[in-house]
Amino acid sequence: MITVRKSNERGHFKIDWLDSYHSFSFGEYYDPRFLGFSMLRVINEDVVAPGAGFPTHPHKDMEIITYVLEGELEHRDSLGTGAVIRPGEVQRMSAGTGIRHSEFNPSEDKPTKLLQIWLLPGEKNIAPSYEQTAFPEAERRGKLRLVASPDGREGSVTIHQDVTLYATLLAPGEKVAHTLADKRVAWVQVARGELTVNGVDLKQGDGAAVTKETALELVASQDAEILLFDMPTLN
């Protein structure tokens, strides 16, 4: 079963420096039908204006992944981390017992577009930590590249939850396949472009909850960038 979360039906929040679309309930947007899926709690598509960003704020007991699509995002946190995240890089921040951080678009004239992803942690009150890894385009082109996993295998960032996250870049007509094990579900997020998942059409910004399927085939109908989450069922 594939249930599509359409881009134009997401929650929307806009102020002078931030334009944000929420796949799940977040902040002032609340919809009891969309509180998360499996271990996913937040997928926000954010566009941050030049010279602006999120001021220092706290997090606790959450696995947070930042995936930049366009521009750059400068990160600073209470661990002393200072880093700039660019397209093709994946940042993982484990909030654990508590962490404070800020995120800022350092450009004077170009917006930053990113996906902000929150996952429920497998264990609470762990020590906060930070990790950032680059995944070259060649590693994601035409294949599912593992970018986050519980054990950090294949050079992926380590997340403290039973979730594997893949990223892929597909040209029109290209396809990739993924097998779901027993008692596993998937979420497919279209970062850009258009594709079909087992024949179901998805457009930029759409998400798809995949349940009771054993095999997935993703076929691009135009240039596409896609994230695929493989997660446990909750029942």
Q: Is the pLDDT of residue 82 over 90?
A: no
Residues in the chain: 235
Q: What is the mean pLDDT of residues 69-75?
A: 94
The pLDDT tens digits for 52-69 are: 988 888 899 999 999 999
Contact predicate 89/157, CB 8 Å: no
For residues 178-195, average pLDDT: 97
Share the mean pLDDT of the chain. Answer: 95
- pLDDT value at residue 184: 97
For 167, the token pair is 């990223």
* CB contact at 8 A, 93 and 130: yes
Q: Is the pLDDT of residue 186 over 80?
A: yes
**Cβ proximity of 62 and 119 under 8 Å:** yes
pLDDT digits (tens, 9 = 90+) for 120-152: 999 999 999 999 999 999 999 999 999 999 999
Q: Are the C-beta atoms of 213 and 1 separated by less than 8 Å? A: yes
Q: Where do the structural domains in the chain lie, given as residue ranges?
A: 2-232
- Nearest to 122, CA basis, from 209, 62, 41, 66: 62
pLDDT beyond 90 at 77:
no
At the topology level, CATH places domain 2-232 in: Jelly Rolls (2.60.120)
Give the pLDDT confidence score for residue 214 in this predicted structure. 94
